[in-house]
Copies of this chain bind each other. A is one copy, B any other.
């Protein structure tokens, strides 16, 4: 995301916006690749083609930069609109969409990559990502174990995301969506419908 096009004589506000976007993009890339600790302000600045101090000027602090790059508005509409039969399908679509849309993927990977080692990232995943999905899924499931079943369904899709996209486990990374849905669907259905 090195945006080398810096055409001269651009409005000041426009330049400002572009460099901010460039920094944010570079930050997301590096956070997605390496996680919070191994991502340095200097590295972000270099990839953005900018001075390190400018990064601070825009975002204040490394933690603030992370917060800005990791703001992840999870779209749970697909989950809320699904009935019991569609839920597994919707849940799988939900996670695959997040990682295969190039727009969303950077953010998703950046948050997930650091969620085990950076407290703020862990909180985001626990409360926003898993939390909101769990609430949505639990109401559809219903019954005494609804929360547990929803949490387990989330844990499975979380495990799939991590294994497929972050760890790149061969058997999962090389498979296409259709096979994934065909095989995992019935398993998630068993979580939705108590035997």
Which A residues are closer than 8 A to B by beta carbons?
A: 34-35, 37-38, 112-117, 122, 125-126, 130, 134, 145, 147-152, 154-160, 162-164, 166-169, 171-172, 175, 179-180, 183-184, 186-191, 194-195
Whether B163 pairs with A155 at a CB distance below 8 angstroms is yes
By a CB distance below 8 angstroms, the chain B residues around A171 are 134, 147-148, 150-151
Whether A152 pairs with B38 at a CB distance below 8 angstroms is no
Complex: A114 Cα to B145 Cα, angstroms? 32
Complex: A97 Cα to B134 Cα, angstroms? 26
Q: How far is the CB of A181 from chain B (nearest CB, A)?
A: 11
A interface, over-half SS: helix
Complex: A13 Cα to B191 Cα, angstroms? 55
Whether A169 pairs with B130 at a CB distance below 8 angstroms is yes
- Cβ-neighbour of A191 out of B38, B114, B179, B187 (below 8 A): B187
